Chains A and B, each alone.
Chain A
């Protein structure tokens, strides 16, 4: 078990280094020198030199790369171009609002989608199943932006069931503000998720152990909830991890629409302000969290399915 975990951690090292290299090449080499973008066309030579020195663009590339690696390790990404705030502080203060939105959204969506997937698979081939699959495909095809815009317009603006946008740190009010974004996240993800979990479950229902369980006289709910669900955990976990980047980015479109000051909002502001260091930090952070998520899943696999271990 520990050997397996250790080997998995060792395996991520080349990926981590590769990610650092790709982001560095993108931002420091392809992106070139963003000084002029920051200062505008009428900058004096002295201003340019100062900025270049402050952000280290006057150093040779290998030195810049070492500096970037140091930033990753120390979690100190310097200051934003646009707001001159410390990026570390920006990220730390954005984490809370993001998680307030994404964690409940993610848990509610996953639990409901898995249960619906089981239910639909239980009715396989019947009209309920067919209808559900059609609804899923329709739901998947509606653009995410349309869900958000129509939801905000009808449910918040027209009907006044939810606040249109904003955020409060106070817990009771906090959930009032994230309720609609959570609902929309749920609706956006539901189609794809239910269909995915239905397929994962159906793949298991043809297995021998299901037939054995039936022959033993177990009731269908017991077979589905106890045996099939357990065996479908590997694809379910995989799908959960695939959705982690979405989770970390705090469903960034939702945050931006509803004025939630989370990581997604920071990213969108950085795009609008051409804020190089913030974007670079966000790209690095989300990637590393994603790799961490992958690692955790690999470890969880061994808990839900002992056969995975020691390969």
Chain B
């Protein structure tokens, strides 16, 4: 009896030492994340971008962007918020265009994630859980898809679907799920024979409930880690595709602005390039830092 009691106390002690008693992975990770000041700043930067995108969408700010606010290529001035980044060739506010570019970038990140996360999670889970020929088929499919160089595939899909933002959503959505599916499949293979899953099975849990109710919550932190990388690469891809003329049409986008700037630079017009580049740099940097911090916080094994 005493023996058991001591062993329990030591166990409790050791648990208390690591500080994880009664804490879930999530609250533990949140605690770790909160210590990372940089990551918190980056998180709020991304929220800020999202709010700007949302406000621009509903016309609360930077509306209307098509309006002529000065003559062609007015340099930046502090006389008005509209002129803070100067004007473009049609005398439109570059600052407003940057804001609307934010809207396009964030929406591309969001929609492509909304397509790719469910697809990647479902296919990865099914492949890892069932194994056998289903696994072979899914692995074959994503190996094939990822063998086509990413930018070539994006160009091909947007080119074939016709230019425009819908084509970009679809192209990014159908290409971005592969990375997530790979990770989720690997985790499901690890988890499916663990005790808690076997226990659930003996209690009569169906395949569906074992996949989504039991295993998925245990691997869901990989989705969050993957999401920040995916969001960022979607933003980068949108800029490249729009730059190539395959992206958004008739709307400001950072890529289109950079494309315009190609010819403006030799005239000394640098503000359109600077505005689009700076806006993109800050949000990509924020995603990079937050992504690293999330990985460190949620998956302490990987360093």
Contact = CB atoms under 8 A, between A and B. Distances in A.
Contacts of A282: 152
Contact of B152 (A140, A149, A283): A283
Interface string A109-120: 000000000000
B273 interface: yes
A137 interface: yes
Interface in B222-265: 236, 239-240, 243-246, 254-255, 258, 261-262, 265
Interface string B149-167: 1111101110111000000
Contacts of A287: 147-149, 152
Contacts of B245: 271-272
B90 interface: no
A145 B289 CA distance: 21
8 A-B pairs with the lowest CB-CB distances in the bound complex, closest first: A245-B149, A18-B144, A141-B285, A31-B160, A146-B277, A141-B284, A287-B148, A153-B265
Contacts of A291: 147
Interface residues of A, number: 47
Interface stretch (A19-27, A175-183, A216-224): A19-27
B273 A146 contact: yes
Q: What class of interface size applies to chain B in its complex with A? A: 35 or more
A143 interface: yes
Interface of A: 14-15, 18-19, 21-23, 26-27, 30-31, 137-138, 140-146, 149-150, 152-153, 157, 199, 202, 245-246, 248-249, 252-253, 257, 267-268, 271-272, 274, 279, 282-283, 286-287, 290-291, 294
A257 B263 CA distance: 11
Contacts of A202: 303
A159 to B, nearest CB: 14
B277 to A, nearest CB: 4
6 contacts: A19-B147, A23-B156, A30-B161, A138-B285, A249-B149, A286-B149
Interface residue SS majority, chain B: helix
B294 interface: no
B48 interface: no
A15 B147 contact: yes
A145 B239 contact: yes
A31 to B, nearest CB: 4
B266 A157 contact: yes
A13 to B, nearest CB: 11
A286 B277 CA distance: 29
B236 A143 contact: yes
Interface in B91-141: 140-141
A49 B240 CA distance: 37
A58 B255 CA distance: 38
Contacts of B244: 268, 271
A271 B148 contact: no
A147 B222 CA distance: 32
A157 B264 CA distance: 13
A26 B160 contact: yes
Contacts of A149: 258, 261-262, 265, 273
A163 to B, nearest CB: 15
B237 to A, nearest CB: 11
A144 B153 CA distance: 19
A283 B281 contact: no
A253 B258 CA distance: 13
A157 B266 CA distance: 8
Nearest to A203: B303
